[in-house]
């Protein structure tokens, strides 16, 4: 199959490194004489048939730029489309046939999708409908089991760690407990690694259920030893022993309708009421998604983008570019979405955290 024109889109939540992938794919394609169409706002661009013709000028200077020049969407699901004028949250429509029509109408030979778990699930559905797709894994959560690391994670981790560094001084000055809320959905990678790197005292992650009394007793023991402040790092998806999580809201039409949030305020209120120690919540939120990617993420994104175009030229459709042992590889998209990569409660990272005196707020693990 001769490849003359490819499409590329960025879907799901944005993160540092997206533009670097777009740049690498486009430069590689254009050097082979292949046209590149950049579909706007994820799969929404294929529903609405909105795209730009990408040239070397379009991608010049975007390596260090955060966000995505193509735009993104985490609610434009063609299989459950809720956006006007085609659908509503009350009456979603299946627009997958429209996507296929527009793909063929524009004479696109292959599509490169860049996104996380939701995007990969949609990509697999289109693969099963016959669309030639190569995927690139993107998520700050680092929760895809088929690759060692996703781009965007290192940048988010750097931002979270810097925030913890800064909060140490204000917590110490006012003798407070500071609760830092990180992203990560159902995986605790950002929280755990930033807590280790930033010297957190307690870390709460989805993989290890926490107990209020364990948290309170740990903070009280620190106070008794003359430690006048504490830092708690809480993943947004942390859950207590009853399995309860803090849910901010739900969004119809999204591949993951639950929007987690509020764990830091919940823990802050609990600590202050039970200890009398002044406590404050700090939600990092979308600061973890924004801004310039780290050098590692620029490097990793470039490798992913270059590999994705190579896979297109090799006809590796239905596969995702993957990063294994500091080399590029490919895996089936269906395998990539089979399992989430989550923190092992008995793994080396948890063990190291415990050995330097951190607590997970758990009666079983510490």
**Residue 224 a catalytic site member:** no
Task: Please report the DSSP string for 260-276 in residue order.
Answer: E--HHHHHHHHHHHHH-
Handedness of CA 24, 16, 246, 185 (dihedral sign): positive
**If you count them, how many residues does the chain have?**
366
Closest CA to 168 of 204, 194, 205, 206: 194
Whether the CB-CB separation of 184 and 235 falls below 8 Å is answered with: yes
Phi, psi of 6 (to 5 degrees): -120, 160
Q: How far apart are CA 296 and CA 316, in angstroms?
A: 26
**Residue at token pair 């001084």:** 169
In this structure, how many other beta carbons lie within 10 angstroms of the beta carbon of residue 99?
25
Sheet holding 327-332, edge to edge: 51-53, 35-39, 5-10, 110-115, 133-137, 319-324, 327-332
Q: How far apart are CA 249 and CA 290, in angstroms?
A: 22
Cis, peptide link before residue 82, omega less than 30° from 0: no
Q: Where are the beta strands (DSSP E) in 117-241?
A: 133-137, 177-182, 202-204, 230-235
Structure tokens at 160: 């979270």
Whether the CB-CB separation of 283 and 181 falls below 8 Å is answered with: yes
Structure tokens at 343: 């923190």
What is the 3-state secondary structure of 159-180? HHHHHHHHHHHHHHHHCCEEEE
Catalytic residue, from 14, 44, 117, 141: name it. 141
* Residues labelled catalytic: 141
């Amino acid at each position: 199959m001769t490849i003359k024109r490819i499409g590329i889109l960025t879907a799901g939540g944005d993160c540092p490194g997206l533009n670097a992938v777009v740049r690498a794919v486009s430069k590689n394609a254009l050097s082979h004489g292949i046209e590149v169409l950049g579909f706007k706002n994820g799969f929404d661009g294929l529903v609405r048939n909105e795209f730009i013709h990408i040239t070397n000028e379009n991608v010049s200077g975007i390596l260090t730029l955060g966000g995505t020049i193509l735009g993104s969407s985490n609610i434009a699901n063609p299989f459950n489309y809720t956006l006007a004028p085609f659908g509503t949250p009350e009456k979603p429509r299946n627009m997958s046939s429209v996507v296929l029509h527009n793909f063929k109408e524009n004479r696109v030979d292959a599509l490169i999708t860049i996104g996380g778990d939701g995007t990969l699930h949609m990509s697999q559905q289109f693969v099963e409908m016959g669309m030639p797709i190569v995927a690139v894994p993107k998520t700050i959560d680092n929760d895809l089991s088929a690759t060692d690391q996703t781009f965007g994670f290192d940048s988010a981790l750097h931002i979270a760690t810097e925030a913890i560094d800064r909060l140490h001084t204000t917590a110490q000055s006012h003798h407070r407990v500071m609760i830092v809320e990180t992203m990560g959905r159902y995986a605790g990678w950002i929280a755990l690694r930033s807590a280790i790197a930033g010297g957190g005292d307690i870390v709460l992650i989805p993989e290890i259920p926490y107990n209020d009394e364990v948290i309170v007793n740990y903070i009280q023991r620190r106070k008794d030893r003359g430690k006048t402040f504490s830092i708690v790092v809480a993943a947004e998806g942390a859950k207590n022993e009853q399995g309860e999580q803090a849910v901010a809201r739900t969004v119809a039409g999204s591949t993951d309708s639950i929007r987690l949030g509020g764990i830091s305020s919940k823990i802050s209120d609990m600590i202050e009421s039970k200890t009398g120690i002044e406590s404050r919540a700090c939600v990092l939120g979308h600061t973890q998604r924004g801004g310039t990617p780290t050098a590692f993420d620029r490097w990793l994104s470039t490798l992913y983008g270059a590999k994705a175009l190579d896979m297109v030229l090799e006809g590796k459709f239905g596969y995702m570019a993957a990063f294994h042992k500091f080399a590029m590889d490919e895996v089936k998209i269906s395998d990539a979405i089979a399992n989430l990569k989550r923190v092992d409660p008995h793994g080396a990272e948890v063990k190291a955290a415990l050995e330097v005196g951190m607590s997970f707020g758990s009666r079983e693990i510490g």
